[in-house]
Structures are given as structure tokens and as C-alpha cells.
Structure 1
């Protein structure tokens, strides 16, 4: 199977702003990752058609409501994977103390998974169009209200045959980790799909040459990726803000999690963010993340055990969105990575996203309260 990841999508996942020009070194690393995968990667896609009733045991109210609203006549259960080879190579690069090469290959794996899901949706759109049907937006465990722990049950339903190899861990994570399960709904009410914009998958689909598009691709919409209820709770319980007379803001956030191995040891990290004044757009001037005082749980992380200096240097080096306005966190597309540890770049970016979104939420509501709009 040939995978043609669009450069713009790869750069987006790397964290670069749209239309940014990669440095010579970054371009070299990106090309190396792409070249390695073209030679050694083994991506695969498996699809299974089923009746909507097979999803009744699952807990996603959003998916259930969407299928009912569209009067879905069927579902397509999809499993995709970038293959185990990429994960093995990434670990080898980490062990060789090549964090840059590791990061670019890891992110390319995420781009491959996105491409496979997007391509699967495009093929389904073509198949459905020939049968006077339409495809609904896909959903996956870990999205919004769908518990990631239900990966096990969905994988059992899909049951991809050999040589495809896929395993759901107790945490809900998949192995190989650059994999995804998804559910696409099918409906014969194509007019209803055109009318109900929330049911139009095209707005979230980046497959540029698609001939079956019902709405334009809406990229980088400024909406929070995190549930507002969670942001409200974290803003109250985990975040402290100090506003200085010159408008500069010091934000401190405490993250409590657990390691993914070693029996889930508790760990705690402190985040500090310095923002410029509101009139300047709250530019992110400083970012820092470090283990909380007295924390020992971080020493049980697998990558810390393997190479503590390298992992802690990577954590210290991570400063996503530094120099950019705080509002950019709303359009920062990063792979979801619910792992509690800090071993992988994606999980660290995921946590930074939570921190910055919580700060954004707190400041937005602070100004609403001051203006009497709460």
C-alpha cells in the first residue's frame, strides 16, 4: 500500500504554523522520516460493514445521536495502522540518543494514520455515492464522550484478520501505537446530510481531490479541543494566575498523573507559563515543565529508567507555541495522546495543550466576569 502524506498535513502535526518554511535541518529530518517509511513501512487498512445495532453496547452518546439523527442504515468499522516497523525504529532511534530523528519519525507515523483514516473515508464516500448513500463523520474511542477503554470491544467487533496485527492494552492504547479504530455511519438520507451541517464529514476531511465533497474543508477552526467542563474544573483546582501591574501574567499549573508501566506510579509535574499583556495578544514568553518538588514517580517512567538525562532534557526542551499568541492553542492540531507519562513527544504535547487551553479558558472567563458578561 502506498501512502502519500501531504507535506502540509505533516508540518501541521509537527507543530509548524501554516505556510511556515522548514529550516534546512528540519527539512532534512522530515525527508529522512518519509524516506525511511517509504522503504520499510507496512501500513494497512481493514474495513467491516455492520448494522448500527452492533454499537448498542458502547457509551458514546454523541455517536448514537448522530446515527439516529441521520437514520443510519449501516456502519463501517475501520482499523488502520502504520505498522509495527515504525514503532520499533523510533525506539531504536531513542536508544541511540537521536531525539530529533525519533520525533520526526514518530510524528510521521501519526500523519500516516491520519492519512489512512482520511483515505478510508474518501473510498467510502465514492462507494456510498454509487449507491445513493452518504457517509457520516467518523468517531473513535477517545473522542469527546467515547471512553478510550472501549477500544477492546470495538477491536473485537472489527477483528482484523492476519497478517494485520493489532492489540488493545488495558489502558485503551493500541499496539502498534500508530493505529486507530473508527466508526463511519452510512445513511440513505443524503438530503438530510446536506441540510444538517453537523453531520457533514467534508468539513473535517482534508482529502483535497475528493469528487464527492458536500461542504468545504474547514481547517484550523478556533475551538477548544478539551471539554469545557474539564477546563472549568482544572482552572479552579490546578491553575493559579498572578497578574502583574504591567499586564504580564504568571500562570502555574499542577499536573497529576500516573506512569503507564510499573503499576501506574503517581507522578506530578509543575508547569509555568509567562504571558505578555492582553493588549499584545497574550504572547507566550516563557514555558517550563519540571517534576513537582518531592515527586519521585517520574523516575519510574520507562524512558527515564532507560535514559534519565535524555528524557528530562527533552521535557525541558519542549516549548510548543513559545513566542506565539495564547489564542493559537485553539488552532494547534496535535495528536490525542491520553497516556499519563512523559515518555513520548505526543503525550508531552497533549499535556501542554491541556495546560494552555486551561489558561485560555481561565483568562476568557476572568474578562467576561469583569465585563459583567458571565
Structure 2
């Protein structure tokens, strides 16, 4: 059983995440005054903040028809139950994180001093710290799970869609059952926590990594119906919609070429490919008859922490009469993307990962038709 008790976790909030929580759109550059306030909040917390993290693996996990039972405690969350059941989860991690009481106290001081801007920037930085702690805890659990041939599912918490905040007391009692001294939290009658910049969460654990790879609906944002939320990372999807990733694989055959392409199948549904070509692909013709294309990949950080990310694939092709030879290729994070920094490999070996991505240029110098017949080598 794994247990984590860290009273001095590293806190390096990504600027893009802090900017998002402040309510600015993606890619926004803070002005002079906003930058001053943001830096002041960050520097104050670096000097005075005392964040902490506690996590432990549960002993027993069972999923019923509408409930989850963790170490004998029953929770009623349809969303969490369905996620754990669909992924074939066999265990769970119980997590508590907090930015500590200092930031909340200082924010109240700024409010009483009639400094609402400073109050707001401190409050939002506290929220960013909590998100960062949850993300980093997930990454640590992910690293452990990889050694166990398992996958950690994205966290879920009381107060999220389809999990009542009224069950927060039960979760707090369960998490602290073995180490209550490690969780300096107070529970209010409303179910909220004090310090308020704190969070309790459950991360599912499964050995069915093949199932997790097909589950695209694990982000809490995608299942939260508060569409107007300014902090949303990904759009809300109706619960009854079927993910394109679950559509059957369809053979891609050009008319009159069924015999030659019979063994070549796309691994993604044609419906998804059609939509992506309309929404994510940009093509520009060059004067020499060649083509420049950019594909915007949108996904999440593999099978574990579930952070949204975007990568741009750039490809330059030669003219049609030369067979659209692949002349140049490159891949890298989108200019405003911060999600790639939450990838497990990036957290442990950032330079190695980015260098590997930059150097990968399969089929360079070969005609575009070869892509259909290409069999990508398996990763070691």
C-alpha cells in the first residue's frame, strides 16, 4: 500500500493556469498592473505559504448498482461509480491537499484594508496552488502505478457534478482514519473545508489500461453542466452522447481500390477523421504546387492525470506530380499550451521528452501514400 505525506511539496504554478483562474482567455498576456499583482501574490506565498499533501491507498473498493464502497464507507456518486466501473478499477487512492491557512488569512487582511485587487489575486493563487497540488499528486501516483502495470484515473471530489458536498464529512473521516494528524482540516456545517483552499479527492486505480485508453469522458469539466463557468478547461458534453473513440473501426477504401487497400485500416473512425479534418486541419497551397498542413491535436495527459493538452503537427508536402513527397515534419506543443508540462515523462525528464518529440520524423522523403501502409514501430 502506498502512502504519501508531504509537508513541503514543490509548488510551481504554471503562469497559464494562474491566468486562466484569474478569468482571462487562453493566451492572454497580463498588463503591467495585473502582472504586478500576480507576481506579488506568487512571491508572498513563496515566503509564507505552507502547503501539504496526504494520500493513501484504500484497502477495499467495491462498486454497486448506484454506489461505491471504499473501506466499508458507502458513497452515492453516479458519475464516480460509472467511471470506476467502466475502467474496471480494483482500488482507489484517497487524497487530501491544502494550500494552508496563511494565504486565506492574508487575503482577508487585504480585504479589510480595502485592497480588493490584492485580495482577489491572492484568492485565485490559492486556487491555483490547490489545482497544482492535485495535479502533482496525481503524477506521483501515476509514476507508482506504472511500476505496477496499472493506471490512475483522474480525480473526483464531493461537490463535483453528481457527487453531493454532503458526503464530504464521510470522505474526510475515511482519509484520516489511519493518520488524522496528517490532515489539519476543519469541516464546517455546510460541508466546506477550512482552510477553504483545500480539496479531498478520490483517484481510481485500474489494471485495465486498455480500457482507460478508450475513455475520453474522464475530465470533470466535460461532465459539469455549468456551461458559463469561466474556469472551464474543456467543453461540457451531454451525458448521453457517445464518444467518438467508442465508434467501431471502419475500413478506409477508395472506390475501385478495395483489393489493394483491403489490409489497410484506419485505427480511428471515419466519422471522427471527417470531423477532425473540418475542425482541426489547416491546409495552404504553395506557389510551387506543394502543400503546407497543420493539424491541431487535442487530448489529455495519457491514461492517468487527465490534463488537457494541445500539440501542433506541421507537414510540408511536395507537388502532386511528385507524389506529394513528405519534405518537412515537426511536432510541438501549441503556443499557449501548458498541459504538456503535466505529462508524466515531462515531469521526470522534460528535456529528453521534448527532444525525442522534436527528432521524430517518420517517412520523411517518402510519398504521402506510404503513410496509409506504414506500420508504426511499437514503443519499447
Secondary structure at the residue paired with 2:74? coil
Q: Kindly state the Cα deviation for residue 222 of structure 1 after the two structures are TM-superposed.
A: 3.0
Q: Kindly state the Cα deviation for residue 184 of structure 1 after the two structures are TM-superposed.
A: 0.3
- Regions of 4+ moved over 2 Å: 53-56, 160-164, 195-201, 219-225
1:115 to 1:30, Cα distance in 2 relative to 1, 3 A:
same
1:72 matched to which residue of 2? 89
Q: TM-score, normalised by structure 2?
A: 0.53
Say which of 199, 215, 236 aligns to 1:223. Answer: 236
RMSD value over aligned CA atoms? 2.4
Q: Distance in 1 between matches of 2:87 and 2:27?
A: 37
Matched, 1:179 2:184: no
2:306 matched to which residue of 1? none
Secondary structure at the residue paired with 1:79? strand
1:78 to 1:86, Cα distance in 2 relative to 1, 3 A:
same
Q: Kindly state the Cα deviation for residue 136 of structure 1 after the two structures are TM-superposed.
A: 1.1
Say which of 147, 150, 154 aligns to 1:137. Answer: 154
Q: Distance in 2 between matches of 1:114 and 1:27?
A: 21
1:119 matched to which residue of 2? 136
Would you say the 8 A contact 1:134–1:190 is kept in 2?
Answer: yes
1:16-39 deviation line (CA, Å, top 9, x unaligned): 111111111110000000000000
2:44 matched to which residue of 1? 36
For structure 2, the 5+ residue unaligned runs are 1-7, 63-68, 224-231, 241-380
2:61 matched to which residue of 1? 52
Report the count of equivalent residues: 212
Secondary structure at the residue paired with 2:114? coil
1:126 to 1:58, Cα distance in 2 relative to 1, 3 A:
same
Would you say the 8 A contact 1:49–1:76 is kept in 2?
Answer: yes
1:200 to 1:32, Cα distance in 2 relative to 1, 3 A:
closer
Q: Distance in 1 between matches of 2:107 and 2:51?
A: 16
Matched, 1:110 2:118: no
Q: Kindly state the Cα deviation for residue 199 of structure 1 after the two structures are TM-superposed.
A: 4.6
For structure 1, the 5+ residue unaligned runs are 205-218, 229-374
Q: Distance in 1 between matches of 2:76 and 2:51?
A: 29
Q: Which has a greater percent of helix?
A: 1
Instruction: Give the number of the structure whose alpha-carbon radius of gyration is greater.
Output: 2
Secondary structure at the residue paired with 1:76? strand
